[in-house]
């Protein structure tokens, strides 16, 4: 009898563990973002927030360099981007990029050290295009990045490949014909926060530009958008966005009425531009580089790594909690931006970056 009771206790404990496995232990912090009664509350696990902070610390900027003097294109060979900045500023930026992207290999990650002008290394060709992409973001997507802007570090954080990228998933195989089509579902994937939703929300919305719809636009069953499949695909993308920014739905939506834009928060409009920015960058900058990357750097279907919300945000509601690195590296703000600035004053030097707040929440 005693042995039976012991077994039952163990079973009960295991059952309780399974029951509460998806729950988070207290304390949990909440921040009210809307009027009382709307349920617009952001919920934060302080332990998760604390764990996200180390990777969102902004590195100290390299002291400013003179903007006057010979231009990089006049001294160095084969400078196709940033050739209009001074030699000193060009060198400063190259040193910073090495620390942002490849601190272990340094210059050798992109350059043949015996001939720095050589373009035979694919990493150099990609890096050149990524500088142009960064300038494009800062100049043409202010509706999303505002004046904070981005640098190479925003995505790379000291790694040659950003921690958060995505590839087209390989087609799923079914054991029997009776299994039918899984509709890309019931395959838990981190991309959709392990929910039972279509696991490839990125291709359709962040590359192909399909309509993001939950509510149908017509009462007829033949409505072009708003079907169950569209709804589930949309929720897959929303789960990713929530996870990528470390927020819940009410960061952008009014819980009383999710659909109306007039009742949504300003962040929803920012997110709208962010989706289109990701689509633009994937189609115009990343996908054209597919043939440049070697096979081992491509995905299971041979495509190149692409970006999504998590690539920049990495768990923070704003990348690097809103700290701007662009102000210290204005050559990345737009083509020719550095050349149009006045000379650097003798006392001008970037101040050390501050540590993120203990509870960095929107």
CB atoms within 10 A of CB 108: 13
Q: What is the DSSP letter of 264?
A: S
Residue 298's Cβ-side half-sphere holds a number of Cα atoms within 13 Å equal to: 15
* Binding site feature residues: 94, 107, 110-111, 130, 144, 152, 155-156, 238, 249, 252-253, 309, 312-313
Distance CA 202, CA 106 (A): 32
Distance CA 166, CA 99 (A): 24
Q: What is the dihedral of CA 33, 275, 131, 246, to 10 degrees?
A: 40
* Binding site feature residues for heme: 94, 107, 110-111, 130, 144, 152, 155-156, 238, 249, 252-253, 309, 312-313
Residue with tokens 């039918």, as numbered in its chain: 180
Backbone angles phi, psi at 257, to 5 degrees: -155, 95
Q: Using DSSP, state whether 86 is helix, strand or coil.
A: strand
Distance CA 346, CA 240 (A): 46
Question: Would you say 53 and 356 are in contact if contact means Cβ atoms under 8 Å apart?
Answer: yes
Q: Which two tokens stand for residue 65?
A: 């360099």
Residue 193's Cβ-side half-sphere holds a number of Cα atoms within 13 Å equal to: 17
Question: Would you say 219 and 257 are in contact if contact means Cβ atoms under 8 Å apart?
Answer: no
Close Cβ partners of 200 (under 8 Å, ≥ 6 residues apart): 168, 169, 184, 191, 236
Q: Using DSSP, state whether 166 is helix, strand or coil.
A: strand
Distance CA 130, CA 159 (A): 14
């Amino acid at each position: 009898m005693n042995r039976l009771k012991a077994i039952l206790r163990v079973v009960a404990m295991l059952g309780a563990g399974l029951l509460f496995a998806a729950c988070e232990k207290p304390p949990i912090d909440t921040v009210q973002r809307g009027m009382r009664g709307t349920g617009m509350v952001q919920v934060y696990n302080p332990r998760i927030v604390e764990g996200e902070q180390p990777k969102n610390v902004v590195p100290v900027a390299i002291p400013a360099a003179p903007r006057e003097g010979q231009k990089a294109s006049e001294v160095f060979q084969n400078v196709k981007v940033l050739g209009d900045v001074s030699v000193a500023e060009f060198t400063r930026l190259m040193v910073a990029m090495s620390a942002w992207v490849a601190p272990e290999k340094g210059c050798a990650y992109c350059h043949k050290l015996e001939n720095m002008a050589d373009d035979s290394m694919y990493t150099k060709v990609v890096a050149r295009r990524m500088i142009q992409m960064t300038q494009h973001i800062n100049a043409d997507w202010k509706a999303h990045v505002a004046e904070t802007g981005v640098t190479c570090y925003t995505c790379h954080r000291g790694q040659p490949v950003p921690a958060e990228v995505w590839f087209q998933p390989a087609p799923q195989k079914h054991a029997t014909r009776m299994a039918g089509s899984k509709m890309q579902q019931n395959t838990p994937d981190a991309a959709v926060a392990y929910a039972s939703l279509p696991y490839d929300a990125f291709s359709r919305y962040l590359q192909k530009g399909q309509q993001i719809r939950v509510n149908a636009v017509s009462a007829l069953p033949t409505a072009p958008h708003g079907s169950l499949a569209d709804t589930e695909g949309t929720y897959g993308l929303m789960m990713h966005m929530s996870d990528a920014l470390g927020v819940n739905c009410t960061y952008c939506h009014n819980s009383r009425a999710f659909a109306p834009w007039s009742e949504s928060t300003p962040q929803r409009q920012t997110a709208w531009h962010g989706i289109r920015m990701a689509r633009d960058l994937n189609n115009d900058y990343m996908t054209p580089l597919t043939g440049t990357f070697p096979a081992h750097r491509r995905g299971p279907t041979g495509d190149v790594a692409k970006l999504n919300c998590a690539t920049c945000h990495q768990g923070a509601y704003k990348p690097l909690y809103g700290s701007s690195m662009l102000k210290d590296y204005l050559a990345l703000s737009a083509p020719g931006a550095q050349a149009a600035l006045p000379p650097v004053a003798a006392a001008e030097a970037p101040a050390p970056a501050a540590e993120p707040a203990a509870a960095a929440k929107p």
